[in-house]
Amino acid sequence: MKVPSFFASLLLLVAVAPHAVAQQGGGVAVLDIDRVAKTLRIDQSVLTELKQVETSLNSQLSQVRANLQQQMNQIEAKFGPEKTPEAQAQIVEANRKLNADFNAVRNEAQTRMTAAKLQKINEFRDQLRPIAQAAAKARGLQVVLTVAPEVYAYAPEVDITDDVIKAAKEAGLEQPEAPAPDPQAAPAATPAPAATPAAEKGKAGQ
């Protein structure tokens, strides 16, 4: 799972209209939020936590899929090997419903994964905001913008990235280095498709 550079795209630390800044005589500070996240190893910490969530959700999906497939097998077994057109229609309908159930569970899992990612983003934003505001204030600046995509060019004097990194480390936001990956560890399982009737399996093999 790849977590994109979502810190830069979602984090606007202080929202003040440009004309208001001009009226107040303040200035704009610039923060490279990606460099802050990488230096503090926040990005790796988030990746690790999200990977744990993903593994748990995949495990749950695999179990749901196995349960649904068992139900499908029981439905087919009830009608025996010689299936009438009516029985075949019931099997197809049962399979449609079970697949819909699986898709609903999978969509819920994806929603939970997105929510977990947003939660981590918000936690980092809330922790970093007062640090960035203090760093900007120390330079007489009132607004903090991230480098991308909001800022095209800026003077080095308004870049508070190093100040924020230093203050964030002093505040204990730096994460420990991630342990080296275990080469013996098995990759996370990808959930298989939902229930499939035996009749359709046979057609697929032809």
Per-residue burial over 110-124, b = 16 or more CB atoms within 10 Å of its CB, e = otherwise: eeebeebbeebbeeb
Structural domains in the chain (count): 1
Question: Does residue 197 belong to any structural domain of this protein?
Answer: no
Model confidence pLDDT, tens digit, residues 58-77? 888 899 889 988 988 888 88
Q: Which domain holds residue 31?
A: 6-181
Question: Does residue 44 belong to any structural domain of this protein?
Answer: yes
Question: Does residue 202 belong to any structural domain of this protein?
Answer: no
| C-beta atoms surrounding 189 within 10 Å | 11
Question: Does residue 199 belong to any structural domain of this protein?
Answer: no
The CA distance from 33 to 40, in Å, is: 11
Question: Does residue 153 belong to any structural domain of this protein?
Answer: yes
Question: Does residue 49 belong to any structural domain of this protein?
Answer: yes
Question: Does residue 20 belong to any structural domain of this protein?
Answer: yes
44's tokens: 């790796």
Question: Does residue 63 belong to any structural domain of this protein?
Answer: yes
Model confidence pLDDT, tens digit, residues 87-96? 888 889 988 9
The CA distance from 105 to 24, in Å, is: 52
DSSP string, 143-161: EEEETTTT-S---GGGB-H
Model confidence pLDDT, tens digit, residues 137-181? 999 999 999 887 667 788 889 999 999 999 999 999 888 886 665
